[in-house]
Structure 1
Amino acid sequence: MAGLIVKNLYKNFNINNKEILALNNINLYIEDGSFVTIVGKSGCGKTTLLRIICSLEKQTCGEIEFTSDNKEEDISRRVGIVFQEPRLMPWLTVEQNMAFPLLKNKNKEETYYIVHKYLEMLGLESFKDAYPSQISGGMAQRVSLGRTLCYDPEIILMDEPLGALDAFNRRKLQNEFINIFIENKKTVIFVTHDVEEAIYLGQKVVVMDDGKVSSEISVPLEYYRDTTDLRFLKLREDILHLFLK
């Protein structure tokens, strides 16, 4: 397993010759095998933080240190990301999309075993020969998640992956994320702007505002959570109150 430590992280963007501070002295400890949600308004810097963690963006200064049981492994190579949109290759089937990250390093027998394990886990076996245009948005997001799981990362980053789904499919996939987290013991960092979703999924909720971490809140509730539970509602009100200050 692996976790990470974010130390004194800053990110500046230059837009029309004007310096924009997107991240302002971010310090975080993400424990290995934990499910952490990051919640905040649009533009608060949460996606920028994820992009830096997975090396899609370079920080202005500060560092990210990966922690791992395997000291010989370059853990930065074992980070997978699930985006808000599935980003599937339309010319490949569901099965082929999920197998794509394995083609370079696995033989056919290993690839078949791994892909079919996650096809079954995500309820996609009946659609393995379908193309992205032939499946629903919820299924496409499951394929995207399955592709990341096939890659077998130590840390899974999720950037608002459920933002475009209806309430029914959203809750269904939330529960599937929890199932996968419990079964696979991965470290998960999940970005959302939905406070209820952050509490429903996270063992810890990191609240970001204006490029800073304004609060870190532990969620002392067992899975699966009742959104009408008074403790759940109190956490929701406490977090919402932080944005009203």
Structure 2
Amino acid sequence: MAGLKIENLYKSFDINGTKVNALTNINLSVEDGSFVTVIGKSGCGKTTLLRIICGLEEQTEGSVSFIYKEGIPSEMHSKKKVGIVFQEPRLMPWLTVKENMAFPLIKNKDRIEVYDTVNKYLNMLGLEKFKEAYPSQISGGMAQRVSLGRTLCYNPEIILMDEPLGALDAFNRRKLQREFINIFLENKKTIIFVTHDVDEAVYLGQKIVVMDKGFIIKEQSVDMDYYRNSSCSKFLQIRDSMLKEFSI
């Protein structure tokens, strides 16, 4: 397991000879085993930040460090296992549900271990009855669960989620929100969850990071137990304080 420390992070792009700053002086600490939500308007730099954390993008300046608890062997410090769940499930259509979930374990020669791991998450995510189905035969909500299961099979130390529920209807969205909480409580993974939905950020996050125009403009701790009542006064107070940051 690992936490994360981001220091003085900048990212700029050259677009037709013009320098565009996507991230400016980002400083952020994410504790090991915590659930952090990141909110902001489209284009504020949320996805760019995730892409840098997982190594899909190089920062212009600054550093991203993985912080381990005392007692973790030093050879583990260079592995930096990070998994990412995208807004679209990105499943391989020629593979079944169980085969998609097993894909990160393709190099594991212990087939019993692979079988046990995949079945564990099939059961956890309520997909055991659909394990032989293909992506075209399941709903969007199920496909997103398969994508999450694939990431869990990979067993990363940090899970990044880039608006994974953005394309779902309200019913499936709330159901999967609760499943994310169940998985977090059971596995104690470090989760960084990007969303543009303020209610979702408050419902899920132990800490909310607010971004605007490439800057972090606010960090807010959420001192509420799971599962949260989205109509209680404390929830609404935190939500309204987040909305004020965007002059909504």
Task: Please state which band the TM-score falls in when normalised by the shorter chain.
Answer: over 0.9
Deviations 1:34-90 (A, max 9, x none): 000000000000100000000000000100010123232145541000000000000
Which AA in structure 2 matches 1:141? Q
Partner of 1:38: 38
Structure 1 stretches of 4+ moved >2 Å: 74-77
Partner of 1:208: 211
Partner of 1:232: 235
Distance in 2, Cα, partners of 1:86 & 1:113: 23
Distance in 1, Cα, partners of 2:183 & 2:78: 21
Confirm or deny: 8 A CA contact 1:54 1:76 kept in the other structure: no
Partner of 1:67: 67
Partner of 1:122: 125
Distance in 2, Cα, partners of 1:149 & 1:13: 33
Shift, 1:103, TM fit? 1.1
Q: TM-score, normalised by structure 2?
A: 0.97
Partner of 1:18: 18
Distance in 1, Cα, partners of 2:79 & 2:183: 21
Partner of 2:159: 156
Distance in 1, Cα, partners of 2:27 & 2:202: 21
Distance in 2, Cα, partners of 1:238 & 1:106: 51
Matches within 5 A, 1:1-245: 1-69=1-69, 70=72, 71-74=74-77, 76-244=79-247
Which AA in structure 1 matches 2:52? I
Distance in 1, Cα, partners of 2:175 & 2:46: 24
Confirm or deny: 8 A CA contact 2:93 2:135 kept in the other structure: yes
Distance in 2, Cα, partners of 1:77 & 1:60: 20
Report the aligned-residue RMSD.
Answer: 1.0
Which AA in structure 1 matches 2:46? K
Distance in 2, Cα, partners of 1:14 & 1:115: 43
> Unpaired runs of 5+ in structure 2?
none
Which AA in structure 2 matches 1:234? Q
Distance in 2, Cα, partners of 1:153 & 1:11: 25
> Unpaired runs of 5+ in structure 1?
none
Deviations 1:173-198 (A, max 9, x none): 00000000000000000000000000
In the alignment of these two chains, the number of paired residues is 245
Distance in 1, Cα, partners of 2:3 & 2:109: 26
Distance in 2, Cα, partners of 1:75 & 1:131: 36
Deviations 1:116-164 (A, max 9, x none): 0000000000000000000000000000000000000010000000000
Q: TM-score, normalised by structure 1?
A: 0.98
Task: Report the identity percentage.
Answer: 69
Which AA in structure 1 matches 2:37? T
* Helix, strand or coil at the partner of 1:47: helix
Q: Closer, same or farther in 2 for the Cα pair 1:18/1:110, shift >3 Å?
A: same
Q: Which stretch shows the higher mean deviation, 63-72 or 31-40?
A: 63-72
* Helix, strand or coil at the partner of 1:73: helix
